Structures are given as structure tokens and as C-alpha cells.
Structure 1
Amino acid sequence: MFCRNQTTRATVARGSALEMEIRRGKFRKSVFLDTSQDSDIQKKIDHEIRMRDGACKLLAACSQKDQALEASKSLQTCSTRIMAYMTELQRMKEAQIMQKVTRRSSDAGPMDDRHPCKGKVAISDLRIPLMWKDTEYFKNKGELHRCAVFCLVQLGGEIFDTDMVIVDRTLTDICFDNTIVFSEANPGFEMRVELYSCCSEDDYSAGSTPRKLASKLSSSLGRSAGKKFRSAMEPGPCSPVGNGGATPLLLPVPSVPGPKYHLLAHTTMSLSHIQDSFRTHDLTISGNEECSYWLPLYGSMCCRFAAQPHCMTRQVMSGCLKVKLGGEPQSWTKVYGVLKGTSLFCYHRQEDVEANVEPAFTIAINKETRIRASEKDPQSKVQNICISNQYGGEEVTHTLTSDSREDTHRWMEAFWQHFYDMSQWKQCCDDLMKIELPSPRKPTPVTPKQGSLYHEMAPLATPSSEGLLLQDNAVSAEIRALLSSYYNDSY
């Protein structure tokens, strides 16, 4: 008992001091500035802490293997999100301090206030090939090694998880059908993909196993000694699975009994990796064949990695313009212009935009386009805007003007910002990439076994549940309902 308490105190000192500060409300007040953004992230942290508490209790109560694996997955996801939100808070604090220091510095030079637009970044069709030995895959020899795997995808302070997949030697690829979309990414983003694995062959009755063991030992040791041993094995008020305190200490994930997920592989992708096609990316593999969670990876993953900058999908600028179509001084045409993507759309009327009518004509606006302000018109004293493009080796120039000097200035500023956005998002602004948003989850029938043609011709004498995708089944629905119930009861 003495050793256990010592260990608990040491673990608490190392792992949960910061989290206790969050619970007491001192994290926000004493460390970070009291801003609306800080408050929003603090609410997210509080939410994930409650969800993690619920996952700990659920994991302790699980009596079935698939339930324990799903609960442990939720626990890992919540813990990773908490750390990501803490990092984001720290980053925001440092940025606020640096901004104040820069403003107060007397020798600070002029600051560039131009910032690139944000955009959507999506990863989908994630496939991770496996490299089984011939004797394992084709000859079906050796022990059937089965693992539960899932991916965490992080960009900034946002983290999404994929469905959990059971993997064994009947699979040639680990397939995740999720489409993960980050809606507010900067062009300098770094997206981290982590593959977690857990051996699913052991008995993961996380809540009952310690108690069963304690009961058997207590009966053999005698009533007095057995009672002491059983009390030591029972979770106490400081345990993440105990119910004995209003604010239990939040220990690190490895201290929670039950299945443990381990980082099997990871990679980091940035803007340079984006291509509007299915591509292969390198993985950094953790662990080795001696690890229980090990899977024979090729060292690569395949996915579709696309982006849609806001300048390609939203109106950058719109308003009334006059366009000179010919060489005659009077050949001006009134249009309603909309700057969006790689074009300046010119409509006859503003109502045509709302009615989705085809534009009267279009002027290309891309990285090769040259725009300049011409001399003032001697009559109106308003500068014209000249837009030049190359068409088949010939330069074509369109001249635009507006009703006032202020409107012309706004249009010129919109063009410069648009070119700046394109220069930052690079290949993402060549053409509009397609992003298919994830559809709402629906109950799906049992997924057929994923395997090779060899296994379809010669079925193995193994359970029919091998290689099934644990998605929206009764266990997942039960876990989500329990977590939701715990979250609602925590207020």
C-alpha cells in the first residue's frame, strides 16, 4: 500500500499538475490573457477533459474486447486533443507577447499587414500497404497476429480521428474511407498523420480483470490478508477509473488499465505535398517486430491530398465597372464584375450573378497576368486599370475603369491581394481542386472480408469477422451514447 501511494504521488506530480490548474480555473487566469479566443479554447479543453474522464470510466467497465478497444481509442483521441489545445494556447500567448513587444520597440521597422487568405485542406482515400511474409499471407502459416488500428490527423489545434480497423494477415492494405477536412488552414500549415496500433489478441476486460485476480488471490491468501490485497487493487479516489472524488486527478493515459494504443508510424505533410491526384507519401515507422502492436508496413501511405484556398471559392471583389472592348474611345461597356478564382467574371447586371446566369465574358486572372494603373483620364480624372494576358503568343489587354477614384483603388487593392494569395498557395491556385465533403454517417451492412483473390477462391477456416471495419456498429453507438450521457451529467 505504501509503495502504491508513493508511485501514485510521483505520477501525479509528473503528469497532472497542469491539468489540475485547468480544473481550478487558474490556467486561464494566471498564464494566458483573458481573450475570447483563449476562452473558446479553454472550453474545448474542459470538454475534452470531461470526455476523457468518461472514457476512463467506460474503459474500466468494459467487459468485451471490441468495447475496450473503442473506449481506449476515444481516450487516446481526447488526450491528444487536450495537448494540442494547450499547445495552441501557448502559441497564442507567445504571439500576443511578441506583438506587444514589436509595437513598443522604438527601432522596429514597418510591418507588412498583408496576410494570405485561408483555405480548406482535405485528406481522403487513405491507404497504407502491408508487407506480409509469403508464408504468412499465401501459405497461412504462423500465429494469426491481429491488431486494431486508427489514424489521428492534426493540423494546428484541430484533430480528427478515423474509424478503427481490425488488421491481420488477410489484408494487403489498411484502408480508411474517412474524408477529413480542415476549413481554416493557412498556406504555411503542417499536417501530421499518426497511425496508432494495439494488439487485439489479449483479454481486454479492463474493468473486471484486476478485480477477478484480486478475488482469486484473496480467497487463497485468507480473509484478513485477502481484504488488504483487494483494497489495494481497487481503484481509489485518485485513480482515473475511481468514483471516490469530485475532481479526480487526471493521470497520463498509460496508467489507465486496459488496451493501450501505440504510435506505429507518422508523417508530416505541407503545401508542397498537395497535388490534385492520388499520391504516395513516406512514413516514419516507430517500433520493431518485437513490439506486440507491430505490423509489417512498407514505409509509405497513399492518399488524395487537396486544398481549396478561399480566393478560389469565394468572391474576392465585386462591383460595377466599365470595360473597353475595342480601340474606339467610345467603346465602353458597363458590366458587373466579380473577381473569383482565376477569372474576372463580367455580367450584364448584378441580378445575373444571383440568378446563376452565364457571364457576358470572362477575363483571365492568373499568376501570369499583368495588371497596372494607367494615366488618368483627362475628362474624368480617374485612373484606368489595364489587365494583360498572353493568348497564343499574343498579348491581349483589357482596360477597366470605375465610377470613382475610391472604387478604382479598392479594385487595385483586391487584385494585389489576390495575386499575393495565389503566390502563397502556389499550385493550389492553378485550378480548383475537388474536395468531396464527408457525408453523414449511416448504418452500414457488414463489410465483406477484405483480402486477395487467393482468399476469395480458397476461404480460410477463420472467423468471418476478420478485417471488418468497426464503423457505426452497436458497440460504437453504445460508447458514443455513454460518453454523451457522461458529458451531459458533468455540468
Structure 2
Amino acid sequence: MFCRNQTARATIARGSALEMEIRRGKFRQSVLMETPQDSDIQKKIDYEIRMREGACKLLAACSQRDQALEASKSLLTCNARIMAYMSELQRMKEAQVMQRVARRSSDAGPMDDRSPCKAKVAISDLRIPLMWKDTEYFKNKGELHRCAVFCLLQLGGEIFDTDMVMVDRTLTDICFDNTIVFNEASPGFELRVELYSCCSEEDYSAGSTPRKLASKLSTSLGRSSGKKMRGALEPGACSPTSNGGGAAILLPVPSVPGPKYHLLAHTTLNLSHVQDSFRTHDFTITGNEECSYWLPLYGGVCCRLAAQPHCMTQQMMSGCLRVKLGGEPQGWTNVYGVLKGTNLFCYHQKEDMEANVEPVLTIGINKETRIRAAEKDPHSKAQNICITNQYGGEEVMHTLAADSREDTQHWMEAFWQQFYDMSQWRQCCDDLMKIELPSPRKPAIVTPKQGSLYHEMVAPASGEGLLLQDNAVSAEIRALLSSYYNDSY
């Protein structure tokens, strides 16, 4: 007798419904709906694309070596940020799909939504030692080799670059004075440090040669033939092309004449490398002596890597409590408690905390602290919170009480979250590490021999004309450069 396979039938039915849902577009709208975070990342991508377009035009118009090196550095940084933002957007989309699938799954068990707090991670005092040959450094013999170098640092979707430094055999270390801070790091962060180098001896003044040649040909060959020749020789625009409906497609950057930076060395730092001191880390060298951008690196990078978890710098919980002082049964005192870092601060009132008045009692909350909730008495629904610490080999217990069972539960949850954050950030929660916030970066002072193309165009010296007399850089590029400097510095 024929027996219908009910399982297969049900599977086909679900597949058919899913197919119809995809056709109607409901699946894409419900799962891949654009969130405010997606919109913010898309705005960042659009901004970096505009900056990349300006960097390409600037690089093609540069006539001096230092200007071309800075423009090429900006172009590389923009490309790295675009790729990082696109990867971040892809990860967010995948997370949305996984959350949607988990909610729809009927056999999914309870999910633990506890997650560790974020942290501020700072890297400073970057030093990269060099290992010159004796004949080069001490006897000052051989060909003088100069390179322009800078560091690119990435943590998640955040990318920063250091200032460009010119290096030759007169230096024993490559030093970057920048302090770079990442504000939204997780305990599992990976900070990638990349060192880029470019030989500075080559002549980069020919960056605008194709444009000049095209202009001459267009005037000498006639209007029709010259127009075709000019279109074939001029470098293409770096802006993204249109996809018919107006959405931008991110295409590879066209080859622009000028200096090219190459990855010389790199390393990846994580939580285990965080320490409130100056340390040396291994540096993986990718180049060799045959490369024009080669520098004799020792194979190590020195820096200070510090982290400040939010649980150490922010108030994780605050509210009214009653604390038992002394051994008297009625010795309860009303306080305003603030859980921050490795302490529970108890003030007489909230205004004392806001006025930075010394707390009446400070209770340690660290990895060795034990906390439990106990019944106040058999006839009451309220609970006490018992906090036990070890001081000099002696066990000390403090007893707290909240106004209601719900408040007690909120305080207990805050304590458990604090312990969880400490377990994830480990040594970063032993003591608060110091992070000196970087001062705003300002454009370098323009000198007759050195300066950026932006400053020579926007703020020329009195009595001097613009660098590019033939108006090779339009007002549009000036606006892009002005926006870039204002936002970056």
C-alpha cells in the first residue's frame, strides 16, 4: 500500500512558503532591514569614498615629493577604512540574520545575553629600532638611503594613521609621538599595527605628465582628434560609478602616477599584551634588502598599550541603600551607593557624590570578594546583601539592605555583571591604567621647502602666487581637502 511521506511533504510546504516570502521581498525587509548602525557605517563609507576621490586628484596634481608622499598616504588610509567599514557592515548583517534565525527556531534554548563591557584602548610611544651596518651608521659611507614611513593601526572598524616620518641612516629608531585611542574595544580585540614604507629618492614630479601631454595634443591635433586623444590619455576619475538607480558601486582605485607605499612589517596585539608600562613586541618583517623601500629593522616594536574598561571608569550602578555600621542591631545608616571600578562608594546623599565629597564608607569589590543575598528575617520579604572581603588575613563582612526585593535583585545583577567584566578584562581591572588623551592634530607649519599642497593653495605666503598656476586643482578639490583637514585634525 502506498504511504505518503508526511515529513517530506511538510518540508516541501515550508520551502514553498519561504520561496513565496522571498519573492514578495518580506524576508529581506524583515531580516536585512537597515538599522541606524547600518546607516551610520554607510555614511562613513560614502565620506571615505569622497576623500579617496580628492586624494586621487590631489596625487595626480602634485609636483613636489613631500606633497606626493602625503597624498599617497591619505589614499592608502582611505582605502583601508573603506574596506574595514564594508567588513563591519557585512558582520552586522550576518549577526542580524543569526539573531532572526535564533528567534524563529522552535528548539532554541534560553540564550545568555550577558556580554562584557567595552573599553578604551590606547597605544602610544611607538618606537621601532633600526639595525644599520657599521659602515653606514658609524663611518657614514655608502649611498644615502631615505624612506618615508608611517604606521596604520586597526582595531575592528576603527583605523588611524600616524604622522609620516622621513628615515635615513642618521636615525637609530623610528619614533611616532602619536597617542591613538580606540573607544569601543571588546576583551577579544585584535589591534593590528602595520608599518608602511616608500623610497623617497625617486622623482615624482611627473605625476601630471599625462594630463599636460593630453592638453598639448588636444590643441595641436585639432578639436576632433585631440578630444579623442585627450580622453584616452587623461587618468580616469576615482569616484564610484553609478548603478543606474543612483547607488554607488565601490570599484578598485585606478592606477595613479606617484609614490607607492609598501607593507614593510606588521604585528597584532591583544589583551595579553596590555600592561601599564613600555614593552617590546615581535614585529613580522615582510620586505627584504632587494626592495627599494627596505629598512634594516631589528624585528621588534616598542610601545605602551593600555586599556580602561568601562566598568573601571563609569558608574555601573547607583541608588539608595542602608548599611549596617557597628554591631548594634539598630545600627543602620541610609547611604547613596555608587558601584564604580573596584569599590562600592557609600555617601550620605547623592549631592555629596556630585560635589566630590569623601564617602563615609568604601567597600572593596574585586575578584576575591564574595557576595550573597540573605533573608533579613523569616517574616520579611526584603533581603540583605552580604559583602565579604579579606583584609590582612582577616575576614570582614559588610551588610547592606535595599528598599525592596526588586532593588536587591538589581544590585545583585550589577555585582554579577561587574565580576563578569573583571573576569573578561583580567589584568586591566587590577588598577586603573592611565591614558593620556591625544591633543588635536594640527597641520604642520608651512615652510618655504616643506608643507602640504593644501596649505600652499589655501594659505599662501604674502606676495607669492599659488603653487599650481595653471589651475590644475579645482575649487572642488580645495573644498574636499579643507573638509578632510577639519575632520581629521
The change in CA–CA distance for 1:138 and 1:30 in structure 2 (over 3 A counts) is: farther
1:35 aligns to what? 35
Post-superposition CA distance 1:189-237 (Å, at most 9, x none) = 1111111111111111243344577899x8xxx979x97996487225x
The change in CA–CA distance for 1:184 and 1:380 in structure 2 (over 3 A counts) is: same
1:421 and 2:415 are equivalent in the alignment: no
- Matched position secondary structure for 1:311: helix
Gaps of 5+ in 1: 1-27, 448-464
2:331 aligns to what? 331
1:24 aligns to what? none
Return the alpha-carbon distance in structure 2 between the equivalents of residues 265 and 424 of structure 1. Answer: 30
1:345 and 2:345 are equivalent in the alignment: yes
The change in CA–CA distance for 1:227 and 1:134 in structure 2 (over 3 A counts) is: farther
Is contact 2:238–2:254 with CA below 8 Å preserved after alignment? no
1:135 aligns to what? 135
Is contact 2:238–2:253 with CA below 8 Å preserved after alignment? no
- CA drift of 1:476 comes to 6.3
1:3 aligns to what? none
- CA drift of 1:99 comes to 1.1
Letter in 1 for 2:375: E
Say which of 236, 240, 247 aligns to 2:238: 240
The change in CA–CA distance for 1:242 and 1:49 in structure 2 (over 3 A counts) is: closer
Post-superposition CA distance 1:255-294 (Å, at most 9, x none) = 1211101111111111111001111111111121111111
Is contact 2:66–2:452 with CA below 8 Å preserved after alignment? no
Return the alpha-carbon distance in structure 1 between the equivalents of residues 369 and 47 of structure 2. Answer: 49
The change in CA–CA distance for 1:371 and 1:110 in structure 2 (over 3 A counts) is: same
2:267 aligns to what? 267
Return the alpha-carbon distance in structure 1 between the equivalents of residues 207 and 267 of structure 2. Answer: 34
Report the TM-score when normalising by structure 2. 0.81
2:365 aligns to what? 365
- Matched position secondary structure for 1:276: coil
The change in CA–CA distance for 1:298 and 1:253 in structure 2 (over 3 A counts) is: farther
The change in CA–CA distance for 1:241 and 1:360 in structure 2 (over 3 A counts) is: closer
- Matched position secondary structure for 1:34: coil
Post-superposition CA distance 1:404-457 (Å, at most 9, x none) = 11111111111011111111111110000000000123567799xxxxxxxxxx
1:75 aligns to what? 75
The change in CA–CA distance for 1:483 and 1:306 in structure 2 (over 3 A counts) is: farther
Q: Root-mean-square deviation (CA), in Å?
A: 3.3
- Matched position secondary structure for 2:424: helix
2:52 aligns to what? 52
Return the alpha-carbon distance in structure 2 between the equivalents of residues 185 and 372 of structure 1. Answer: 31
Deviates more, 1:67-76 or 1:401-410: 401-410
Letter in 1 for 2:58: L
1:486 aligns to what? 480
Q: How many residues align?
A: 434
- Matched position secondary structure for 2:266: strand
Is contact 1:196–1:265 with CA below 8 Å preserved after alignment? yes
Is contact 2:67–2:452 with CA below 8 Å preserved after alignment? no
The change in CA–CA distance for 1:229 and 1:46 in structure 2 (over 3 A counts) is: closer
Report the TM-score when normalising by structure 1. 0.81
Return the alpha-carbon distance in structure 2 between the equivalents of residues 399 and 489 of structure 1. Answer: 57
- Matched position secondary structure for 1:438: coil
Is contact 1:235–1:241 with CA below 8 Å preserved after alignment? no
1:8 aligns to what? none
- Matched position secondary structure for 1:316: strand
- Matched position secondary structure for 1:131: coil
- CA drift of 1:376 comes to 3.2
1:304 aligns to what? 304
Structure of higher RCO (CA pairs closer than 8 Å, 6+ residues apart): 1
- CA drift of 1:240 comes to 3.2
1:151 aligns to what? 151
How high is the sequence identity, in percent, across the aligned residues?
A: 77
- CA drift of 1:328 comes to 2.0
The change in CA–CA distance for 1:476 and 1:232 in structure 2 (over 3 A counts) is: closer
Letter in 2 for 1:264: L
Post-superposition CA distance 1:354-401 (Å, at most 9, x none) = 111111121000011000111233464311100000111111000110
- CA drift of 1:296 comes to 0.8
Is contact 2:240–2:249 with CA below 8 Å preserved after alignment? no
Return the alpha-carbon distance in structure 2 between the equivalents of residues 214 and 63 of structure 1. Answer: 17
Return the alpha-carbon distance in structure 2 between the equivalents of residues 197 and 175 of structure 1. Answer: 14
The change in CA–CA distance for 1:440 and 1:346 in structure 2 (over 3 A counts) is: same
Is contact 1:57–1:242 with CA below 8 Å preserved after alignment? no
Return the alpha-carbon distance in structure 2 between the equivalents of residues 175 and 393 of structure 1. Answer: 47
2:207 aligns to what? 207
The change in CA–CA distance for 1:80 and 1:370 in structure 2 (over 3 A counts) is: same
The change in CA–CA distance for 1:129 and 1:31 in structure 2 (over 3 A counts) is: farther
